[in-house]
Amino acid sequence: MSNSILFEAFQLGRISLKNKVVMAPMTRSRADQDHVPTDIMATYYQQRANAGLIITEGTAPSPNGVGYARIPGIYNEQQIAAWKPVTEAVHAEGGKIFMQLMHTGRVSHPLNLPEGSTILAPSAIAPANTEMYTDQEGSQPIPTPKEMSIEDIKEAANEYVQAAKNAITAGFDGVELHAANGYLLEQFINPGSNQRTDAYGDSIDGRSKFVLEVAEQTADAIGADKVGIRLSPGGAFNDVNPFEGQEETFKYLAQALGKLKLVYVHLVDHSSMGTPAVPTSLKELIRDEFGGTIIISGGYTRESAETDLAKKLGHLVAFGRPYLANPNLVEKIKNGDSLNDPNFDTFYTPGEVGYTDY
């Protein structure tokens, strides 16, 4: 394919990306039981540093936000120290790396949380028809979360801010706030999971308030040019579903995030994974209201990426599953080589098999 836009360099805030390929955030559960990154994670990310930008797997900003077995955190000194070899390895290859901050909120299980933590959410509503895997007892029903008090909300915002500072200390080029796929920030946005009647619910600005406070405070702490955000408008993961008035909600959010001058909005469309397609008009609305860099993601191939970049639907394109079994993805898609299929059985299992052995 000639006239590639995908392999051109791109200026993202103050950092230069060597191409427009982004590695999408993917949970791989290779941290240890205490949520500390392991050595093989540096190898894994280094192997994939051909992307212009890597976004790490969802990483917990606080013990309350861990949710899953063996996902990494960034809330203590041990974790900060263990992430340093990851950022050094990626930078040694000329890559850039943002950390995705993922507080799982109600998508959680007590067996997966450090002692003394609490499962928190905007309202005391468990996600329906969703189970959570635990190392101890396999799949378990998800319990009803505690409705966050105003104090809990302030504390959670402070945890994001501290986590962002910790990420910078660990050498990351920035952070991505995970406000997609049904985790804590999206639980506030969506009226199905947020039935509060106070200032943090009830209306578009109420349901957006926590997300915008976290975005603003994080940007104040480390610089707006180091803070991106992921949104999944119309998504249907973790029982956070499309809702009436979502266009107005995402229009409001995109505009407000633009005013905060966040470095990018990362849009998720998981229709290639079986959820309803996100209307192109909604993506364009968010792009136009935000006014800054847009990362598009979900089901992309080289061809569809070039097409959507040419149409200016977004500026950068994230690839998820293709990166799992093809560490040298950029070279492969440049050459038109066929891609290895990922093995679902090793997505979240400990160790190197199906992780660093491709």
Ligand X SMILES: Cc1cc2nc3c(=O)[nH]c(=O)nc-3n(C[C@H](O)[C@H](O)[C@H](O)COP(=O)(O)O)c2cc1C
- Mask of contacts with ligand X, 27-66, x by CB under 6 A? x-----------------------------xx--------
Nearest-5° Cα angle at 96, 94 to 102: 155
Task: Provide the total of helices (H) and of strands (E) in the chain, helices listed first.
Answer: 10, 14
The verdict on 241 binding ligand X (CB under 6 A) reads no
Backbone angles phi, psi at 178, to 5 degrees: -85, 95
Contacting residue, 109, 300, 326, 355, with ligand X by CB under 6 A: 300
Tokens 């378990």 found at: 140
- The set of catalytic residues is 183
The verdict on 238 binding ligand X (CB under 6 A) reads no
**Secondary structure percentages of the chain, helix, strand, coil, to 5:** 35, 15, 45
Q: Which is nearer to ligand X, 48 or 178 (CB)?
A: 178
Q: Each residue of 142-156: b (16+ CB within 10 Å) or e?
A: beebeebeeebbeeb
Contacting residue, 235, 298, 314, 327, with ligand X by CB under 6 A: 298
Region 89-148 residues binding ligand X, contact defined as CB under 6 A: 100, 102
Tokens 């051909």 found at: 50
The verdict on 268 binding ligand X (CB under 6 A) reads yes
Q: Each residue of 204-232: b (16+ CB within 10 Å) or e?
A: bebbbbbbbbbbbebbebbbbbbbbbbbb
Cα distance between residue 172 and residue 176, in whole Å: 11
Q: Which is nearer to ligand X, 90 or 180 (CB)?
A: 180
Which part of the chain contacts ligand X (CB under 6 A), choosing from 5-13, 123-131, 198-206, 298-306?
298-306
Could you write out the DSSP letters of every residue in 214-238? Answer: HHHHHHHHH-GGGEEEEE-TT--ST
The distance of closest approach from Cβ of residue 198 to ligand X in the complex, given in angstroms and rounded to an integer, is 28
- Mask of contacts with ligand X, 152-181, x by CB under 6 A? --------------------------x-xx
Contacting residue, 15, 26, 236, 325, with ligand X by CB under 6 A: 26
The verdict on 25 binding ligand X (CB under 6 A) reads yes
The distance of closest approach from Cβ of residue 300 to ligand X in the complex, given in angstroms and rounded to an integer, is 6
The distance of closest approach from Cβ of residue 31 to ligand X in the complex, given in angstroms and rounded to an integer, is 12
The verdict on 292 binding ligand X (CB under 6 A) reads no
The distance of closest approach from Cβ of residue 342 to ligand X in the complex, given in angstroms and rounded to an integer, is 7
The distance of closest approach from Cβ of residue 181 to ligand X in the complex, given in angstroms and rounded to an integer, is 5
Which part of the chain contacts ligand X (CB under 6 A), choosing from 134-142, 157-165, 186-194, 320-328?
320-328
Contacting residue, 62, 194, 297, 326, with ligand X by CB under 6 A: 297
The distance of closest approach from Cβ of residue 174 to ligand X in the complex, given in angstroms and rounded to an integer, is 15
Could you write out the DSSP letters of every residue in 276-308? Answer: PPPPHHHHHHHHHHH-SEEEEESS--HHHHHHH
H-assigned helices in 94-203: 150-169, 184-189
Residues 6+ apart with CB under 8 A from 113: 63, 64, 66, 67, 119
Q: Which is nearer to ligand X, 238 or 249 (CB)?
A: 238
The verdict on 349 binding ligand X (CB under 6 A) reads no
Backbone angles phi, psi at 284, to 5 degrees: -65, -35
The distance of closest approach from Cβ of residue 88 to ligand X in the complex, given in angstroms and rounded to an integer, is 22
Cα distance between residue 18 and residue 50, in whole Å: 8
SS (H, E, C) 100-123: EECCCCCCCCHHHCCCCCCCEECC
Binding site for ligand X (CB under 6 A): 24-27, 57-58, 100, 102, 178, 180-181, 230, 268, 270, 272, 297-300, 319-322, 347
